[in-house]
Amino acid sequence: MRVYFVRHGETDYDVVQSRGVRGWATSFAPLSPLGRLQIDTIARDFRLQEADAIVCSSYARALESAALLSRALNKPLYVEYDLHEWLPQKDPLGEIDSELLRRATVKLGPGPSVGEPWETIDEVRERVLRVLMRYVAFERLIVVTHAVVIQSVIGTQRAIDHAEIVPFDLGAEEVVPAEPPQAVNDR
């Protein structure tokens, strides 16, 4: 399957921070006017025209980016929670500790981070590949998500720009077994 990873457009964090929003709630921040322009611009890229569908993170910046692409390209849109940003701490209700965030960012890379409270790059990759395996029926898929998520799958630590398109061929070597479906009674 050919995947076109797209990093969301530039985000307007001022709109949430001016209201005192902190921590995980900043994920509700929308795109900036420049971010919307970035996405409108890449919607004209010929590679995206041939995609079968769009899948995106549930964070507002990715969701808005994907919605703009879906409208411009007339492609179906699917929202997947597990395409979310890297977790610098696994407790989503905990207050974000700036020192922990700094340490996690410095240590972010392949391999285990034994005893650390953040998500490893390998854990990010595994959760993302599980999502993508649900879409193998598509030949070409646009995945609107976040820089670290893209980096984890393509295996690089280079910077990914806002609204950058990163092509990737998802082959058998990337396959992660899908989580077994649960019966309704098991939930």
| Average pLDDT score over residue span 21-44 | 91
Structure confidence by residue, pLDDT tens digits, 48-67: 999 999 999 999 999 999 99
Has residue 178 been placed in a domain?
Answer: no
Q: What is the 3-state secondary structure (H, E, C) of the chain?
A: CEEEEEECCCECCHHHHCCCCCHHHHHHCCECHHHHHHHHHHCCCHHHHCCCEEEECCCHHHHHHHHHHHHHHCCCEEECHHHCCCCCCCCCCCCCCHHHHHHHHHHCCCCCCCCCCCCCHHHHHHHHHHHHHCCCCCCEEEEEECHHHHHHHHCCCCCCCCCCEEEEECCHHHCCCCCCCCCHHHC
Has residue 108 been placed in a domain?
Answer: yes
Has residue 186 been placed in a domain?
Answer: no
Has residue 183 been placed in a domain?
Answer: no
Which is more confident, 114 or 178? 114
Residue 15's domain is classified under what CATH number? Answer: 3.40.50.1240
Has residue 185 been placed in a domain?
Answer: no
Has residue 177 been placed in a domain?
Answer: no
Is-contact 109 116, C-beta < 8 A?
Answer: no
Has residue 182 been placed in a domain?
Answer: no
Q: What is the domain range of residue 73? A: 2-171
pLDDT of the residue at 187 = 42
93: Cβ contacts below 8 Å, ≥ 6 apart: 24
Structure confidence by residue, pLDDT tens digits, 141-181: 999 999 999 999 999 888 999 999 999 999 855 655 444 44
Which is more confident, 124 or 80? 80
Has residue 154 been placed in a domain?
Answer: yes
Domain count, the chain: 1
Which is more confident, 116 or 15? 15
Structure confidence by residue, pLDDT tens digits, 60-111: 999 999 999 999 999 999 999 999 887 655 555 556 665 655 555 555 555 5
